[in-house]
């Protein structure tokens, strides 16, 4: 395997990890907001696909 292939794999893994972290933070932040009383469930706007 060439050095370029290995660097490409590491870059892809890094970007994938960052993407997963952003998605998880976007899911957990509203949960903690409700748990700590900073907002209510009715104030949270959920995305709809229609």
What are the DSSP calls for 13-35, one per residue? Answer: HHHHHHHHHHHHHHHHHHHHHHH
SS3 43: coil
Confidence band of 1 (pLDDT split at 50, 70, 90): low
CB atoms within 10 A of CB 2: 7
pLDDT digits (tens, 9 = 90+) for 20-32: 999 999 889 888 8
Confidence band of 8 (pLDDT split at 50, 70, 90): very high
Please give the mean pLDDT across all residues of the chain: 85
**Residue 10, pLDDT score:** 96
Number of H helices, E strands in the chain: 1, 0
pTM of the model: 0.66
CB 30 within 8 A of CB 36: no
**CB proximity list for 40: less than 8 A, separation 6 or greater:** 34
């Amino acid at each position: 395997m060439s050095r370029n292939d290995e660097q490409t794999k590491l870059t892809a893994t890094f970007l994938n990890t960052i993407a997963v972290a952003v998605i998880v933070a976007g899911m957990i932040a509203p949960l903690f907001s409700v748990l700590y009383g900073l907002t209510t469930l009715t104030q949270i706007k959920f995305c709809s696909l229609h």
